[in-house]
Chains A and B, each alone.
Chain A
Amino acid sequence: MKKELWLFLLLAVISVITGMINPAFLSLVNLLNLANLIGLFGVFALGEGLVIITGGIDLSLGSMFALLGVVFVDLLTTYQVPWPLALLAVLLGGLVLGAIQGVLITRLKMQPFIVTLCGLLIYRGAARYYTTDSTRGFGYGDEAATLSNIASGNLGGIPNTFILLIILALILGVLLHRSVYGRWLYAVGKNEEAARFSGINTDFVIATAYIISGGLAGISTVMFVFYTNSVSPSSFGNFYELYAIAAAVLGGCSLRGGEGSILGIVLGTALLQVLQNLVNILGIPNSLNFAVMGSVILVGVLADRQLQSRRQRKMALASLARTPPKTTVLQGEPSAPRG
């Protein structure tokens, strides 16, 4: 919880300073825009976070958006499929892609980095081939007006994407922090062998994380499609997996696994979006966007690392002081000669 508190303070301080320099940052329009972006980028970051807690990584998300995105638009426009079915198809598509990756990683013992890197290449290639590299968008008809209204609408001014993120974060928060599965996820991420020795089906736990990540990617696809209203297969979702990894890491997930929280991931996403927004609003050249993001993550993780090793040193010293000098006669020994 401490980590999340620090992150929240950092977020607050940066927001206040930016707001003082340029009050436009705190304007309602800007804040709502920000909330929309946090919602869009937060949903799939949650899935990425779960995968990272297992000690793995999912690099395929951005390409998944492209592939699922072109299929989704095509289903609605070319094939005139009713939107609930199209939505279901995209969700299922995400779950299936996640399941394939999960099985490759657990059953066939392949490295997550390799599997999802290949996913990144394959899905992107498939999306471009499927559309012959042409952008897919909605025509003048209202193929999915209802869904579009839901995905890009708002409730009492608050963007639906943000509301969806909060709902999903609550559900996943309970899953990760209160459920049996969540406990298993942490145990597997920290020490897979001990988890196996405790009778946990570690393959199931890990594969499920990739499946959840795939499913959330499906949801994100739909939201992004209606955010941009068109999908150009070669650039849609490019680098988005890196945003998710950055958010998770900034939010306290360790790439070694076993660490991180849902609140942290949400705060990490928020911080990233605030940074991007701040670049725009403070008139910093837009080209520095990535550099600012990179620097903040670097400093953040470095600070965390330093704090942790200090804590470990303290703990080591404390346990050293606690260990009494060993004597040969100890109470409880059945045949203690004296005393």
Chain B
Amino acid sequence: MAEMLLELAGIGKTYPGVRALDDVSLSVRRGEVLGLIGENGAGKSTLMRVLGGVIAPTQGVIRVGDVEYGQLTVREATRAGIAFVHQELNLFENLDVAANVFIGREKLMGGRLKLVNNAQMRASVAPLLARLGADFSPDTLVDNLSIAQRQMVEIAKALSIDARVIIMDEPTSSLTISETERLLEVIADLKAHGISVIYISHRLGEIMTCADRVVVLRDGRTVGELARNELSHAAMIRLMIGRDLKALYTPPKRASEAGGCDIANLVTTAFPDRQISLSVRRGEILGLAGLVGAGRTSLARAAFGIDTILGGEIRIDNARVNVASPRDAIRHGIYLVPEDRKKSGLVLELPIRENMTLANLSNYARMWLIDGAAERKVAKEQAKSLSIKAPSVDIEAVTLSGGNQQKVVLGKWLSMKPRVMFFDEPTRGIDVGAKSEIYALMRDLADRGVAIVMISSDMEEVIGVSDRVAVMHEGGISGVLERDQFSEYNVLRLAIGQTLETTEGAAT
């Protein structure tokens, strides 16, 4: 049983300015299920990418069996029997199951003609599917399969390359309860066949069920290891948190006002069976925390009119507003700083000036003709007040750094009249200096009477910047924390769908 299959020793990975992994060690034994947990950004995915040969560690050793590697290539990782079941499934929907299993290593026939032997591929996939208890056949088009079934295809693919370690990254995040149970059965079966599984999940209940051992990562380090008999929710959460958060917090200059934005029983397309109710006052920064995929972005998209609102209502200063498109939202003063600024926030090839005036161009126009001077004046003012580092407002946004690009997105909205602003991961990919500038800007906006919702997966940011924190779990609000209740422990408990230990303030 104790045969060591895979060992990582002292793995470190440094990016310019960021230490993603620092002296991480972990080992996997044959036929063992290893749980890997940690907050968003703790380094789990980076570690797994090191293991898959996608990125090279800057230090440390990877031992597979008796062979030592400084770094793996994708090919070596595959040959060593390491397989992935991805969070976003990497399947070709337009091909059938067998073709997906054998993608890149198709069975051939016809000698030099190199024709694909579909029959043989299907025949060799069939027993794998039978073993997994799959209810579909090798010639089914992947497009017709559910998420759970697609996962089975990924696992079959892993089995077909004789994988010895299968890494599952958040495999159950989109599964129903019965599908999850089915997956856990499959994992037990893999284990019985001597195949090891590294199981990454935020769902501590599942970890409790299936893991033989749990490794906890925090800030790119291994902070603890729990054996099967030591496993408990409390023990795991205690290890996951425990950073001392820097005192970022700047309190509001004035008490938050009565008005603001009330979201009542809102139903989004992403979670049609959930209702969201949430209030944010003018002058307040409401942090919106939760795990990736908890429905925070869909809430912002719905409130901004990108996604259709299926039910419920949005009120601003107690007046109901109808938001059917971003144009409506903008008219009512609801603005969104989107998560992906390159894709949705900016037209990268347009100059700073044109990006900044894009949302209310008519204001800079007479008879539909743009007044270039007025436009340039406002763009320059914004660039100055946001201290955007650029030689002129006429250079393309694509040439700017992440922080400056984000400031251009902000400048677009700040030259207008915001009443409610949604910031979706406002500081992702931005360096520390620009981060604190953006926090200061948000606080300043709040002090000028804007209601601010800040979606963030960065715990430091959530706790350090917000006046209150609402936590989302699987499409609903699982609780709202006041400042005296702020702790990583509380946020995390709500984020994984548990209630607070103290009942006060925990809304439904």
Contact = CB atoms under 8 A, between A and B. Distances in A.
B344 A193 contact: yes
Given A180-B362, A333-B436, A334-B250, 11 more contacts: A178-B369, A179-B368, A180-B365, A180-B370, A190-B347, A190-B349, A193-B343, A194-B346, A198-B359, A258-B347, A330-B433
B326 interface: yes
A197 B350 contact: no
Contacts of B248: 334-335
A323 B17 CA distance: 12
B144 to A, nearest CB: 22
Given A178-B370, A181-B368, A191-B348, A199 B359 contact: yes
Most buried by A among B17, B347, B361, B365: B347
Contacts of A180: 361-362, 365, 368-370
A197 B306 contact: yes
A132 interface: no
Contacts of A184: 361
Contacts of B358: 183, 187, 194-195, 198, 200
Contacts of A190: 347-350
A187 B350 contact: yes
A194 B345 contact: yes
A169 to B, nearest CB: 17
B219 interface: no
A286 interface: no
A196 to B, nearest CB: 6
B189 interface: no
Nearest to A182: B370
Interface string B396-409: 00010100000000
B327 interface: yes
A201 interface: yes
A319 B433 contact: no
B128 interface: no
Contact of A179 (B306, B354, B369, B437): B369
A21 interface: no
A78 interface: no
A319 B365 contact: no
A323 B401 contact: yes
A334 B399 contact: no
Interface residues of B, number: 42
A210 interface: no
Contacts of B18: 326
B235 interface: no
A326 B431 contact: yes
Per DSSP, chain B at the interface is mixed
B113 to A, nearest CB: 33
A194 B344 contact: yes
Contacts of B304: 197
A326 B18 CA distance: 9
B446 interface: no
Nearest to A200: B358
A89 B345 CA distance: 43
Interface string B344-377: 1111111000100011111001001110000000
20 contacts: A179-B368, A179-B369, A190-B348, A191-B347, A194-B343, A194-B344, A194-B358, A195-B358, A196-B326, A197-B304, A199-B329, A200-B359, A258-B349, A323-B401, A325-B16, A325-B17, A331-B433, A333-B436, A334-B436, A335-B248
A201 B325 contact: yes
B432 interface: yes
A183 B433 contact: no
A236 to B, nearest CB: 36
A326 B16 CA distance: 6
Contacts of A335: 246-248
A326 B17 contact: yes
Nearest to B16: A326
A200 B412 CA distance: 13
A328 interface: yes
A170 to B, nearest CB: 13
A332 interface: yes
Contacts of B347: 186-187, 190-191, 194-195, 258
A158 interface: no
Interface string B172-214: 0000000000000000000000000000000000000000000
A174 interface: yes
In this complex, the interface size class of chain A, counting residues with CB under 8 Å from chain B, is 20 to 34
Interface in A188-234: 190-191, 193-201
Interface of B: 16-18, 246-248, 250, 304, 306, 325-327, 329-330, 336, 338, 343-350, 354, 358-362, 365, 368-370, 399, 401, 412, 431-433, 436-437
B431 A199 contact: no
Contact of B350 (A186, A332, A334): A186
B327 A201 contact: yes
B327 A199 contact: yes
Given A198-B326, A201-B327, A183 B370 contact: yes
A284 B427 CA distance: 63
B369 A196 contact: no
Contacts of B336: 197
Contacts of B344: 193-194, 197
A331 B327 CA distance: 38
B399 A174 contact: no
B444 to A, nearest CB: 14
Given A201-B325, A323-B401, A183 B361 contact: yes
B343 A183 contact: no
A325 B432 CA distance: 13
Most buried by B among A191, A194, A331, A334: A194
Given A184-B361, A334-B436, A335-B248, A199 B17 contact: no
A259 to B, nearest CB: 8
Contact of B432 (A187, A191, A199, A330): A330
Given A330-B433, A335-B248, A315 B399 contact: yes
A180 B345 CA distance: 19
Interface in A286-322: 315, 319
Contact of B17 (A186, A193, A328): A328
Nearest to A183: B361
Contacts of B306: 196-197
B374 to A, nearest CB: 13
A325 B15 CA distance: 11
A319 B369 CA distance: 34
A73 B247 CA distance: 80
Report, nearest first, the 3 A-B pairs whose CB atoms are least far apart.
A326-B17, A330-B433, A199-B330
Contacts of B330: 199
A191 B343 CA distance: 7
A235 B13 CA distance: 67
Most buried by B among A184, A186, A193: A193
A335 B249 CA distance: 10
B40 to A, nearest CB: 22
Interface in A135-184: 174, 178-181, 183-184
